[in-house]
Amino acid sequence: MCSLFFLVILSAILACDCLTKDDVLVYTVATEETDGYLRYMDSAKEFGIKPNILGFGQEWKGGKEIRTKPGGGWKINLLKEALQKHKDESDKVVLFTDAYDVIFSNNLDEILKNFKATGAKVLFGAEPFCWPNPELAPMYPEVKDGKRFLNSGLYMGYVPELLKLLYRKSIGDDEDDQLYFTEAYLDETFRESIKMKLDHTSTLFQNLNGATSEIEIYVNESKDKKIPEKYVVKNYFTHTEPMVIHGNGFSKLTLNYLGNYVPNMWNSLEGCIKCKERTLNLANQPVKAMPLVYMAIFIEVNTPFLEEGLQKVYNLDYPKERMHLFIHNAAKYHTSLVKNFTEKYASEYLSFKQILAEDGTPEWTARDLSLDQSTAKNVDWYFSLDSIVHLDNPQTLRLLIEQNRSVVAPLLVRSGKAWSNFWGALTKDGFYARSKDYLEIVYNKKRGLWNVPFITNAYLVRASIIKRYDRSILTYNKPDTDPDMAFCRTFRELNIFLYVSNRVDFGHLINADNFDVTLAEPEMYQIFDNEMDWEARYIHEDYQNNFAPGRVDKQPCPDVYWFPIVSLRFCNSLISMMESYGKWSAGTSYDERLEGGYEAVPTRDIHMNQVGWEPHWLKFLQKYVRPLQEKVFLGYNHDPPRTSGGNFVVRYRPDDQPFLKPHHDSSTYTINIALNQVGVDYEGGGCRFIRYNCSVVDTVPGWVIMHPGQLTHWHEGLYVTKGARYIMISFVDP
Ligand SMILES: *[C@@H]1O[C@H](CO)[C@@H](O)[C@H](O)[C@H]1NC(C)=O
Ligand SMILES: *[C@@H]1O[C@H](CO)[C@@H](O)[C@H](O)[C@H]1NC(C)=O
Ligand SMILES: *[C@@H]1O[C@H](CO)[C@@H](O)[C@H](O)[C@H]1NC(C)=O
Ligand SMILES: *[C@@H]1O[C@H](CO)[C@@H](O)[C@H](O)[C@H]1NC(C)=O
């Protein structure tokens, strides 16, 4: 007793300012190399901190469910054992932290300085919840500022006092460590005897649970543009900059967010700093040595531009002899397309398995099955893709594998929208919430590798994780939950990080919300929802060259211009839309579709509004035709171009309407797009401008003829002698 008392005195004397960071012993408990462990070690490395890892490689003995149930006595017993060899080093200070949900945000010198400033011999972090036994709450001393209750995830103390605390009683491995320390703290005599205090205002330790709204990242901008800004965790409630951050309880997602920046994980000059670590390099690998991939494609909804989407999957620059292919097609509409794809390409893959729409297999069953298959095939990576995914970057798969994380999704965004395949934050009940940096990531203002709570549509998973958990744990099937939400929730519960990467551009998402497959050529109607994909399929590949500097425009007749504008696919689709509608006008002067009913120059035609395509056509005029017009008819700028229903497809046939007599158009300018091929689909035809005795007869499908509508450009439709000639006409600005 007397010697112990003496020891206390001695240690008080020794606890002078002569301590340095080398006198701090850092301990943590971690049984395995989880994502959280790697993050913890990264943050330690940033400050040159070398934690002693206790329990590594051992089975966790501190109780079954550490997250929600008491446990953790094992941590105390491990520390007691480890401190044996330091038991006489009264001049040493121990810093104990949990590992998986902790990051350091400052160095040991600063940590020590703040510790000493508290005057405690043993200091614990504080939190607003009295746990695991809330009934003890009234026994806690009142506090004026900050949090009242003890949390055992972070503490620091001089060896002698800490040993007294650790040996105060014995504790079973699966008993609760927080309760153990709480009881010691509530014993006032004992508390005073070892000068045990709580860090109520987070000068050192920040437990995030119950305090997340007090915390934000402070950006310390540098005046020197060549020195990157620094990200600091600040507590805006206590006005402190805590140095060890603990994402305890349900605050893990907040820690994940903070950990994207702190300490020194990302800055605007260097981008993401730590994401270059622990990566693989597949360049120059022989094919035989390339990781094996199980690629599973899910077609759960009718999807516009699926043909191109699948082609991009096929175009991935990765050896197909190292890839298994699995397709679940739940959309009958796509049966023929998928059949064409698989008949053409499936044999190139290592194996191929398909679940057809006719089987009626629910989505989650198919997804779970693909997980089992990936395990059966003993692959290295599982790669899941939904039909709305377009991987425009053929290196996507290779880059994701090289990133070498447990789960990583390529950032995909609906073109021009803020809709993406990840969530930056979650509401309490697990639904979408927007993180502060969500838009910056979506718009690539910040590029990097981001730890986020939810990803979907496309992701790569390390197959060993899938192998480790069977379908009772890792499953897409949870009651009342979407398959992807169920999947992500499981990963969050297992503390496996979900990363989304926008280190480079990977691709985009299709919007399948308004895809009406009852229409003939439904993709033609997608100009609003999927503008980029619409353009890629339907706009002429040379269209942009119309604007190339020094380009000499074709002018077959005076003031008649000729441009490539739409693809052959567009031409065929427009004809098909019209023929499947089929109600060609009578070609008489009475036209019930017109106001007043009189048509001076009747043709056999179908108006755009008859097939519900007028708004789409006006958009086309505005976006693709107007710039051409402004380029050649200088000084005339009407945006958007107007028409009064004068948008239609004309069909000329020898037996029907073979020609059109000379006329003016009621337009400022007229466009005339040839939709099929002279000499192949029909003979004769063309347009003659009478004043100039000049004809355009060798029309090219997909090319537009643009000419003034009146006065100078009186014109006629020339005789079609064979077949059927289709042209698309629009009277612009009547
Ligand atoms: C910002 O960084 C500078 C230089 O490291 C430091 O002196 C200053 O105290 C920091 N400001 C804040 C508010 O953290
Ligand atoms: C890839 O990741 C695993 C798991 O984190 C790690 O064990 C391995 O060392 C990493 N590979 C490289 C080359 O860093
Ligand atoms: C599949 O291929 C056949 C034969 O080439 C073709 O007729 C059909 O239109 C294709 N289906 C789709 C949806 O592309
Ligand atoms: C119009 O052009 C055609 C062919 O170039 C020519 O045969 C004809 O004589 C011309 N007519 C007039 C009125 O100039």
What tokens were used for 558? 């005076």
Atom 13 of ligand 1 has which residue's CA nearest to it?
220
The C-alpha atoms of residue 460 and residue 280 are separated, in whole angstroms, by 14
Q: What pLDDT is recorded for position 74? A: 94
Query: Which 8-state DSSP code applies to residue 482?
Result: -
Q: What pLDDT is recorded for position 428? A: 84
Q: Which of 120, 118, 149, 103 is nearest to 244 (CA)?
A: 103
Q: Which atom of ligand 1 sits closest to the CA of residue 232?
A: 14
The rounded Å distance from CA 508 to ligand 2 centre is: 29
276 lines ligand 2 (CB under 6 A): no
The C-alpha atoms of residue 83 and residue 240 are separated, in whole angstroms, by 31
Q: Which of 189, 209, 191 is nearest to 123 (CA)?
A: 191
The rounded Å distance from CA 729 to ligand 3 centre is: 29
- pLDDT tens for 673-721 read 999 999 999 999 999 999 999 999 999 999 999 999 988 888 899 989 9
Residue identified by tokens 């009475």 is 590
The domain limits of the chain are 21-269, 287-509, 522-732
The rounded Å distance from CA 412 to ligand 3 centre is: 29
Pocket test for ligand 1, best of 218, 219, 220, 229 (most atoms within 8 A of CB): 220
The rounded Å distance from CA 284 to ligand 2 centre is: 19
pTM for this structure?
Answer: 0.93
Pocket test for ligand 2, best of 35, 56, 278, 449 (most atoms within 8 A of CB): 278
Identify residue 317 by its one-letter amino acid code. D
Query: Which ligand ends up closest to the CA of 241?
Result: 1
Q: Taking CB atoms and a 6 Å cutoff, what residues make up the pocket around ligand 3?
A: 336-337, 340
Helices (H), 211-362: 252-258, 306-314, 335-345
pLDDT-based confidence at 656, cuts 50/70/90?
A: confident
Domain 287-509 shares a fold with domain 522-732: no
Atom 8 of ligand 3 has which residue's CA nearest to it?
336
Question: What are the Cα distances from residue 595, in Å, to 601, 646, 668, 731?
Answer: 15, 12, 20, 16
The C-alpha atoms of residue 337 and residue 463 are separated, in whole angstroms, by 30
Residue identified by tokens 């932290």 is 97
Query: Which ligand ends up closest to the CA of 308?
Result: 3
Q: Taking CB atoms and a 6 Å cutoff, what residues make up the pocket around ligand 1?
A: 220, 232
Q: Which of 580, 573, 561 is nearest to 672 (CA)?
A: 561
Identify residue 44 by its one-letter amino acid code. A
Residues whose CB is less than 8 angstroms from the CB of residue 375 and which lie 6 or more positions away in sequence, other chains included: 463, 466, 467
Is the sign of the CA dihedral 561, 564, 567, 572 positive or negative?
positive
Res 65 pLDDT > 80: no
The C-alpha atoms of residue 312 and residue 514 are separated, in whole angstroms, by 23
In CATH terms, is domain 21-269 a member of 3.40.1260.10?
no
DSSP 3-state assignment of 594? Answer: coil
What are the φ/ψ torsions at residue 417 (nearest 5 degrees)?
-120, 170
CATH code, residues 522-732: 2.60.120.620
DSSP 3-state assignment of 723? Answer: strand
Q: What pLDDT is recorded for position 12? A: 54
Atom 11 of ligand 1 has which residue's CA nearest to it?
220
* The CATH classification of domain 287-509, taken from the options 1.10.1840.10, 3.40.980.10, 3.30.70.100, 3.90.550.10: 3.90.550.10
Q: What is the DSSP string of 513-580?
A: TT--TTSSSGGGGGTTTTHHHHHHHHB-TTGGGGGSTTPPPEEEETTEEEEE-B-HHHHHHHHHHHHH
Please provide the average confidence, as pLDDT, over all residues in the chain: 94
Q: What pLDDT is recorded for position 24? A: 97
The rounded Å distance from CA 358 to ligand 3 centre is: 19
DSSP 3-state assignment of 295? Answer: strand
The share of the chain scoring above pLDDT 70, in percent, equals 97
- Pair 206, 216: CB distance under 8 Å: no
The rounded Å distance from CA 23 to ligand 4 centre is: 104
The rounded Å distance from CA 414 to ligand 1 centre is: 39
32 lines ligand 2 (CB under 6 A): no
Question: What are the Cα distances from residue 309, in Å, to 100, 442, 456, 486, 527?
Answer: 39, 21, 17, 26, 17
The C-alpha atoms of residue 520 and residue 518 are separated, in whole angstroms, by 7
Q: What pLDDT is recorded for position 332? A: 96
The C-alpha atoms of residue 394 and residue 59 are separated, in whole angstroms, by 42
- pLDDT tens for 220-255 read 999 998 999 999 999 999 999 999 999 998 899 999
Please give the average per-residue pLDDT across 160-169, as a whole number: 98
